[in-house]
Amino acid sequence: DIVMTQAPLSVSVTPGESASISCRSSKSLLHSNGITYVYWYLQKPGKSPQLLIYRMSNLASGVPDRFSGSGSETDFTLKISRVEAEDVGIYYCGQLLENPRTFGGGTKLELK
Amino acid sequence: EVQLQQSGAELVRPGTSVKLSCKVSGDTITAYYMHFVKQRPGQGLEWIGRIDPEDDSTKYAEKFKNKATLTADTSSNTAYLKLSSLTSEDTATYFCTTGGSFAYWGQGTLVTVSS
């Protein structure tokens, strides 16, 4: 199984500042078709996860452009610029390259 | 817009089974694979498996092969997750999710296993 490792476990950010979350996969997520199958989700308190970034760097519909994704074949970063109160929650990276689909352990974002 | 409506919370006895539903609206259930994800209280996301409603083919994570059964009913646009031989380890919220990027999620069904 592909192991997804996230860091840090939690991050505390002043509103208006930026935050970065890292994710590493135990295997390359770059498919021969050129697509990197890493995704980012946000789970707000008491809610279902919501898609933020798909295929490493594509912004999902309705997601503010303060969010961006980048990376290589095995190392990925989610950056949140100008953090707002509505960004609070747990962020998960996930790989949809192969079964079983797997997720990182999550990074909790809080406001200072 | 695709929406997933899951069945209500369940309180079940150890050793029994429970069947959860996930109804699709806004598209036909055959448009995408349907996946189910487990989240224990305060924990992360764990993929259970997926079903292709087009042909009822399934894939499961190894640890759920004797625990979970996925089915789908195209006439009602609904997918089902059956969990058997329930223990306290099965107490969790179960989500259905679909769309090529897990773009759509149900609201989750809380299953509590307790005597």
Residue in B102, B104, B109 to test binding to A, most A beta-carbons within 10 Å = B102
- Smallest CA–CA separation between B14 and chain A, in Å? 26
Q: How far is B62 from chain A (nearest CA, A)?
A: 8
Verify whether the Cβ–Cβ distance A49 to B105 is below 8 Å. Answer: yes
Query: Residue length, chain A?
Result: 112
Q: Quote the CA–CA distance of A58 and A68 in Å, as a whole number.
A: 8
A101 neighbors B35 (Cβ within 8 angstroms): yes
> Strands B92-98 and B34-39: what pairing?
antiparallel
pLDDT at B51: 98
Per DSSP, the three-state class of B29 is: helix
B112: confidence class by pLDDT, cuts 50, 70, 90: very high
For the stretch B23-72, pLDDT in tens is: 999 999 999 999 999 999 999 999 999 999 999 999 999 999 999 999 99
Establish whether the linkage from the previous residue to B41 is cis, with ω within 30° of 0: no
- Beta-carbon separation of B106 and A51 below 8 A: no
Q: What is the DSSP string of B39-86?
A: E-TT---EEEEEEETTTTEEEE-GGGTTTEEEEEETTTTEEEEEE-S-
> Above 90 in pLDDT, residue B100?
no
- Rounded to the nearest angstrom, the minimum Cα separation between A60 and chain B is 8
Reported as a single tens digit per residue, the pLDDT across A57-104 is: 999 999 999 999 999 999 999 999 999 999 999 999 999 999 999 999
Is the CB of A35 inside 8 Å of chain B's CB atoms?
no
